[in-house]
Amino acid sequence: MSAAETPLAEPGWGSLEDAVARVLWDEEAIQKRVRELGAQIARDYQALLGSALGENPPLVVGIFRGAIVFLADLMRAMPIPLECDYVQLYSYGKGSEAGEIQLLRDLGTPAQGRHILLVEDIVDTGQTLHFLCEHLEARGAASLKICALIDKKPRRRVKIPLDYVGFLLEEDAFVVGYGLDYAERFRNLPYVAALKPEALAP
């Protein structure tokens, strides 16, 4: 989250693609994986809730802003009744250091008794999700599941059980695209790519 306030090292990049080192997952691979995740999640909630699915559908919660693109595609790949909401959090850490997490926007829907699916773009240290899970459990969520587009393992600090994962990232690269940003740029790329190190401000 702190990267959103950091300017590009070279403001004169000719295009978004100029700052990209390599594409990790292209648009076709992402859409295929999202369809697979949506089908799997739908089956799991049908099995979990049975006939109660229509009366108490899962609440799909996107973590704003990075997950908005993934959230939109994932919901359309889930052919079951569902409701949607989002939360917004902010970390006051500097750089890669851990910081205080603040909830800027809470659910507009009561969490009590709801089966909640958290949708995240990338799980890095795990601290934000850990904070959010504790918050929702305290508010009486009936169940919590986590779906992450990318599981970035090298910087994990808090163990977080991820129920659904799109892709594993085993390297400590800064990734952008498909909703993920650097300095609020690159969210609109249709693929996920590693950013060139020289594009990052020191």
The tens-digit pLDDT sequence of the chain (202 residues) is 333 334 444 444 557 788 899 999 999 999 999 999 999 999 999 999 999 999 999 999 999 999 999 999 999 999 999 999 999 998 755 444 456 899 999 999 999 999 999 999 999 999 999 999 999 999 999 999 999 999 999 889 999 999 999 999 999 999 999 999 998 889 999 999 999 988 887 6
Q: Token pair for residue 128? A: 């934000």
Structural domain spans, the chain: 2-47+56-199
What separation in angstroms does the CA of 170 have from each of 135, 156, 190?
29, 11, 21
For residue 42, what is the enclosing H or E element? helix 27-49
Cα 181 from Cα 81, distance rounded (Å): 31
What is the predicted pLDDT for the residue at 199?
83
Enumerate the active-site residues: 124
Fold of 2-47+56-199: Rossmann fold (3.40.50)
